Amino acid sequence: MSTIASTSRRTAAGLIAGHSGPSLIASSRTPALSPARSSSTASRPPLELTLALLKPSVCAYQPDISTILRSIKTSGLSIARSRRLFWTSADAHAFYAEHRGRFYYDRLILGMISGPSLALALCGPGAVKEWRRMLGPTKAYKGKYTDESCLRARYGLGDTRNGFHGSDGQESAKRELGLVFDGWDAEWWLQREMGQLPTDQGGSVNPLGF
């Protein structure tokens, strides 16, 4: 659903305007990592991409955004792409279609269209699992008892307004990243980062893949 990504063409930098330190976020059109081309590439752990959403309830308070971005940086995850989203009802319905019919569905949709969200493509070894570890339990109140340092315990407001979204697996991450970032080919990007794209006889990467 290209409408999800096309809702806003502005980068997420607007959500952290006024941050006095060095930039914590990459441009939505510029990967955060540089392609590796050395012989050591084979020894690098395999990279993953995952979609992270900071929901409107979190994005309403800018100092929280800066703190969360620092936490991401400290975790070792990199921000490959970012986008500020202003979802319509249709966008939210398309993204959360698998939840349709659940008792919380209407509240979830209303929460997602109540203001801007921040979408991040996070990259790193085991990125899916690491981001979900940082988030903590889906129900924010459980996090307050099991791990007070997790993001949902710190910033979540309730079961539905838990502040964040994280892809639940690599396949769903690819699908969700494609929805949010204009059909972005996450698989191709990962192959490029790991130096696994086919090359021509001169060693240059062949963008056509053969």
Active site amino acids: 165
Identify any residues that bridge with 124 across adjacent strands, giving them in sequence order: 48
- The closest of 115, 17, 29, 16 to 72, measured between CA atoms, is 16
Look up tokens 């305007």; give the residue.
17
Helix-then-strand count for the chain, H and E: 10, 4
- Residue 71's H or E segment, with its range, is helix 62-75
Give the end-to-end CA distance of the chain in Å, rounded to a whole number.
29
Q: Count the neighbouring beta carbons within 10 Å of the beta carbon of residue 76.
A: 11
